[in-house]
Amino acid sequence: MPKLNRPPLPIVAEHDTPMPVRDGTILRGDVYRPASDGPFPALLVRTPYGAGSFLMAPKTLALEAGFAVVLQHCRGRGSSDGEFRPWLDEGDDGYDTVGWITSQPWSNGEVVAFGMSYLAGCALQAAATRPPGLKAVVASMTPHDFYDGLKYHGGAFALGSALNWGLLQEMLGLMHGMEAGEDVGAGFGALLPVLGDQAAAVRRLPLRDIPAGPWWNDWISHPTRDAYWEGLAETLRHDRIEVPVMHVAGWFDLFLAGTLENHRRLGGPLVIGPWSHGSGATGTGRLDFGFFSSAQGVGLPQRQMDFLRGEDTGPAVKIFVMGDDVWRDEEEWPLSRAVGTRYHLHTGGLLSTEPPSDAAPSTFTFDPRDPVPTTGGPLLLPDVTNTGPQDQRDIELRPDVLCFTTEALASDVEVTGPLSVTLHAETSAVSTDWTAKLVDVHPDGRAMSVTDGIVRTSVASGVHEVDLVATSQVFKTGHRIRVEISSSNFPRFDRNPGTGRTSADSTEADLVVQHQTVFPDSYVTLPIVPR
């Protein structure tokens, strides 16, 4: 029988270690380090989600790699003092925490930062303050901006994810206050009914009436990129980040666009798997991509640690190609060899590379009282099963969803890269939304979603670009490529009342029926990779 003969690694663990920052607030966290004399570099993870999220940190790998590990609660969360204000304090608090670490007798003066989602944002915001001693960052599945791609997409409010996250943070805030001895009974009384039935909450109008935390009104009161969002953007200045950054994304992650933009601005290795937010599993939605599609299967945790140690020898870009279900190394993103190819939306439902000869438009009627329900996609909703690729056949039966489909493919077609839909469209409403979805239609009839997007407009008639972000999908021989067009994707995005007012200030009585026209010179641009 094989014997590993591995010696134990003695460690020193300190729970709720105080770490003061510049304004006198005491932040706290757990510190783990090898029991030997050191000194050691340190891996820093900062979180607003409490001690449970510490379990996601690569503590064992980091300790085995010779790092000390500092797992810190953001201010106003966990055991840290202060008031939690999303994104506002993370840069300065991160700077001060790096300084605290490098002043410890066990520190060798070097710190690396690691995180996913908000935790990755903390790491990047700290890097933007240029703390002495910070050497590298691994940032997974995180936005590049707090307006574009986080709370708003194409001008539409990301209702479902904003509400879900806002309610979570409100609950954590009440729990923090309760632990501090505050009377939070009224707060829980208002929060729990909404938290327990978010499906009802998202339908409430005006949105301003939802008790979703102290920041909710800020988010819904600033539907355009104004001074409020510009002030937050100052906390994440990419032009001030000088340390190397490794980026990890998922094809079905709601922050795919943000991660790709972080990579474009900062450089560094990029890994994109067939994952939803926070997942590195083999299956997403209704599809399983095989064992080696997982983060563990591709060796991602060890590569991240190699990167933080300055020893990464992996490819510049590593992507999972769905359909073929294989990993592929690339030298760049996006791929220069991909050819942008127009597939035209013909009247009658054909999707074809041939330009349309017909002049008659396609039409549908959209009633915001009965929006198209969100079915799959890059989501962060309470129903964790409704994410990633999902069968769209029921959705496609709706009269307010137009479908444009190719003939069965005679050979494989690989679509890898950024993609978009260009709509020449017209509406009867003062304002409206245009949504688009790319779908892989299987020979057995399944219509599996690939990616989607939205654009909000107050232009009655014009050309609108719907950003579908990116994918790497091989449409196999015998499959068909489909594009769906509609005017809602709810509750992923809020409903457009059609009056020019926002859903933050509209009632159910304000909603107007919208008559929509899509002209046949509309098209989807697919980045086709020659095979």
At 183-220, the pLDDT tens digits run 999 999 999 999 999 999 999 999 999 988 889 999 99
- Separation between Cα atoms, residue 108 and residue 79, nearest integer Å: 27
* 44 Cβ neighbours under 8 A, 6+ residues apart: 70, 72, 94, 97, 98, 101, 111, 112, 113, 114, 123, 126
Q: Domains of the chain (ranges plus CATH)? A: 11-147+232-330 (3.40.50.1820), 153-231 (1.10.3020), 339-529 (2.60.120.260)
Q: Looking at residues 71-76, what average pLDDT do you find? A: 98
Catalytic residue positions, numbered: 117, 253, 277
DSSP string, 191-228: HHHHHH-HHHHTT-SSGGGS---TTHHHHHH--SS-HH
Q: Looking at residues 307-328, what average pLDDT do you find? A: 98
Q: Which range is least confidently modeled, 15-19, 35-39, 138-142, 337-341?
A: 35-39
Grade residue 5 by pLDDT with cuts at 50, 70 and 90: confident
Nearest to 96 by CA among 70, 120, 77: 70
Q: Which range is least confidently modeled, 191-195, 243-247, 372-376?
A: 191-195
Q: Looking at residues 32-42, what average pLDDT do you find? A: 93
Nearest to 415 by CA among 341, 355, 486: 341
Return left, alpha or beta for 123; rule: phi > 0 is left, psi -120 to 50 is alpha, else beta: alpha
| Cα distances (Å, whole numbers) of residue 399 to 366, 378, 519 | 9, 24, 17
pLDDT at res. 239: 98
- Separation between Cα atoms, residue 53 and residue 469, nearest integer Å: 29
DSSP string, 99-157: HHHHTSTTEEEEEEEEEETHHHHHHHHHHHT--TTEEEEEEES--S-STBTTTEETTEE
Q: What is the pLDDT of residues 408-444, one digit of tens each?
A: 999 999 999 999 999 999 999 999 999 999 999 999 9
Pairing type for strands 413-427 and 523-529 reads antiparallel
The 8-class DSSP code of residue 52 comes to G
What is the pTM (predicted TM-score) of this model?
A: 0.97
Pairing type for strands 40-47 and 68-73 reads parallel
Average pLDDT value over all residues in the chain:
96
- Strands of 270-276's sheet in order across: 11-20, 26-34, 68-73, 40-47, 107-116, 134-140, 245-252, 270-276, 317-321, 326-330
pLDDT at res. 23: 97
pLDDT at res. 152: 98
